[in-house]
């Protein structure tokens, strides 16, 4: 075998080793890409869980708003009742005042 043929064989072997190294690097990149894909999927699942939690919080806030509205209506009803009691009390005071001014004459036509 001549020296040139031996040099070509060594170069071919070196190219083969480089190709093998590149294949290993490509495989490592593929594994890294797969890991990134798994991480992205995990982040998507976490984002979905956060969205569900946010929706649950929104429903809770809406329920609290409805409860606050009901309490406001109840407070308004209590205020109306208190106003009615005040009007009744004033009417009783007016009747009492009128009865003290106009004595009742029993048995006589007025």
Per-residue pLDDT tens digits for 40-61: 999 999 999 999 999 999 999 9
The per-residue pLDDT for 36 is 98
The per-residue pLDDT for 8 is 93
The model's pTM: 0.56
The per-residue pLDDT for 87 is 97
How many whole angstroms separate alpha carbon 107 and alpha carbon 110?
9
Is 97 a residue whose pLDDT tops 90? Answer: no
């Amino acid at each position: 075998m001549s020296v040139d043929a031996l040099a070509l064989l060594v170069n071919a072997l070196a190219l083969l080793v480089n190709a093998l190294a590149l294949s290993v690097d490509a495989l490592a990149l593929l594994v890294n890409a797969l890991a990134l894909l798994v991480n992205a999927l995990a982040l998507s699942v976490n984002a979905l869980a956060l969205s569900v939690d946010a929706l649950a919080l929104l429903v809770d806030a809406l329920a609290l708003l409805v409860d606050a509205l009901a309490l406001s209506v109840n407070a308004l009803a209590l205020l109306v009742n208190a106003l009615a009691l005040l009007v009744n009390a004033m009417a009783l005071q007016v009747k009492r005042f009128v009865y003290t001014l106009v004595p009742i004459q029993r048995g006589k036509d007025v």
